[in-house]
Amino acid sequence: MTADLVLRNVTLPTGRCADIVVAGGLVRHVGRAVRAEETIDCSRLTCLPGAVDMHVHMRGGVQAGKEDWRTGTLSAVAGGVTVVVDQPNTVPPITTPDLLRARVREAKEQAVCGFAVNAGVTPGADLQGMHDAGAMAFGETFAAPSSYGDGLGPETLRGLFTRIHALGGLATVHAEEVAGPAPATLADHDRARSGAGEARAFRTVCALAPGGMRLHFCHASTAASVEAARGTVEVTPHHLFLSRGMFQEGDTRARVNPPLRDEETRRALWSRWDRIDVVASDHAPHTLREKGLPFEDAPSGIPGVETMVPLLVAAVRRGKITLASVIEKTSWRPAAILGIPRAGFLPGDRADYALYPDAVTRIDAGRLHAKCGWSPFEGLEAVFPEEVVVRGRRVYACGELREAHPAWYPGRGYLSSQVK
């Protein structure tokens, strides 16, 4: 057999050292290598399966000034993410099959890695049509208002959940309680969208969803919310690595929904590490110009797709968490939840990998690839990948994009509608 690519001397999660032989985008054989068009020596590198970031806002369209599919997915691969799942709170929001198909077309033209597109959840949305057109999941469903999304009331949510459940769909939910006037500081913002309120909102959503429904909670920011979730639960790198005390009170760049919490709450979130299913970035870039508005008016959201896995790999190097848990929460669990073929080390696995050097560096926003040009993680320890392979192709190496390799992952509805 002639392979397209061989990764030589890979240390597998079991500790065994082997060569991974790739052809047609899949792993064909693990063991001694055969002849190949291209080889990468992994003996000095840590080989992780490419991450599936199941919560990114790629923007594009009329919001291409903030981010577009090209810059957003380049930022993804530069951070070891090989599949991104785009959120539907675009302008306009994705609420019809035509809008969803147009979104997929835009991504196919510009993306440099794998992608999926979620369906918007609003009372008038054509859920069935978007399911058949290839939506990956439904949401994020706004059970609380946030940037470019109005909060849905309990009865509306109940009705929408019933319809999503009837389709066999997965609902991903943004749940918070919001109170009081527009916040003027990070502490105000934390109070207005409190941790206790978030946990209550999670419980309310659980009570509204039909039994047996596929349910996923986005960006839990407290240990209590992680405990309150039913189905699966996601946390973000910003709630794990940042607390609001690390910023000036009026720093709009740290304004995000759910808000950054205090240091004690951040540490308590780590105590639930084993219970957390997924780490996803909620990459929500806004320009510095928009963030320059007075705090009350500045948009919520921070970039993070490129720094997510690098921050986690640095935490592995410090001995805080295991590499196996990072693989599980950034790649295998999100792929399993969504039904995306898994990237890994067995024959038949998707050949998506990111290769990390030993050196721990510090995040420097000037070296990142998102359009916005800033990062709230500036100065934190990180390990960035040297090489990234998407479906067996060397897409990114030593800081440079070598070739684009977009691949669309449609959801289950599309796959079954094709055989009707």
Chain positions contacting ligand DOR, by CB under 6 A: 57, 89, 146-148, 174, 256-257, 284, 299-301
Clarify whether 282 is annotated catalytic: yes
The span of 108-116, 171-179, 323-331, 403-411 binding Zn ion (CB under 5 A) equals 171-179
The residue of the chain with the least Cβ separation from ligand DOR equals 301
> 40 forms bridges with which residues in the sheet?
7
**Contact status: 174 vs Zn ion (CB under 5 A):** yes
Q: Answer with the entry of ligand DOR, Zn ion, none that 265 interacts with (C-beta below 5 to 8 A by kind).
A: none
Q: Rank residues 140 and 306 by Cβ distance to Zn ion and give the closer one.
A: 140
Stretch of residues binding Zn ion (CB under 5 A), selected from 71-79, 172-180, 204-212, 329-337: 172-180
Report the nearest approach of ligand DOR to the CB of residue 257 (Å).
4
DSSP string, 3-38: EEEEEEEEE-TTS-EEEEEEETTEEEEEES---EEE
CA distance 232 to 212: 12
**Helix residue ranges per DSSP H, 167-247:** 186-192, 195-208, 223-228, 237-241
Helix and strand numbers (H, E) in the chain are: 14, 20
- The entry of ligand DOR, Zn ion, none that residue 225 binds, CB within 5 to 8 Å by partner kind: none
Q: Which is nearer to Zn ion, 174 or 371 (CB)?
A: 174
Q: How far is the CB of 55 from ligand DOR (least distance, A)?
A: 9
Min dist CB 47 to ligand DOR, Å, is 32
Q: Among the candidate windows 174-182, 237-245, 246-254, 306-314, which touches Zn ion by CB under 5 A?
A: 174-182
Minimum Å gap between C-beta 390 and Zn ion is 26
Q: State the minimum distance, in angstroms, from the CB of residue 59 to ligand DOR.
A: 8
Q: Which is nearer to ligand DOR, 146 or 243 (CB)?
A: 146
Strand 170-174 to strand 138-142: parallel, antiparallel, or no bridges (unpaired)?
A: parallel
CA distances from 390 to 27, 323, 401 (A): 12, 21, 12
Nearer to ligand DOR, 121 or 314 (CB): 121
Q: Which of 53, 282, 349, 352 is catalytic?
A: 282
Q: Which candidate, 168, 86, 147, places its Cα nearest to that of 120? A: 86
Residue 359 near residue 383, CB atoms below 8 Å? yes
Helix H segments across 121-243? 127-133, 154-166, 186-192, 195-208, 223-228, 237-241
Structural contact between residues 236 and 301, judged by C-beta atoms closer than 8 angstroms: no
Torsion of CA 25, 29, 32, 36, to 10 degrees: -30
- Calculate Rg over the CA atoms of the chain: 20
- For ligand DOR, the closer of residues 131 and 219 by Cβ is 219
Strand order in the sheet with 387-390: 46-49, 353-356, 387-390, 393-397, 400-401
Q: What is the spatial distance between Cα 49 and Cα 346, in angstroms, rounded to a whole number?
A: 11
**Residue 216 binding Zn ion, by CB under 5 A:** no
Q: Which does 89 bind (CB under 5 to 8 A by kind): ligand DOR, Zn ion, none?
A: ligand DOR
Strand, coil or helix: what is 269?
helix
Instruction: Name residue 32's amino acid.
Output: R
Nearer Cβ to Zn ion (165/219): 219
Cβ pair 392, 23 in contact under 8 A: yes
CB nearer ligand DOR, residue 146 or residue 194: 146
Question: How far out from the chain centre does Cα 55 lie?
Answer: 4
The overall longest dimension of the chain from CA atoms, in Å, is: 66
In the complex, residue closest to Zn ion by CB: 174
Q: Residue 221: name its binding partner from ligand DOR, Zn ion, none (Cβ under 5 to 8 Å by kind).
A: none
DSSP 322: -
Nearer to ligand DOR, 11 or 63 (CB): 63
Q: Which of residues 93-152 bind Zn ion (CB under 5 A)?
A: 140
| Residues assigned a catalytic role | 282
Q: Which residues of this protein are in contact with Zn ion, per CB under 5 A?
A: 140, 174
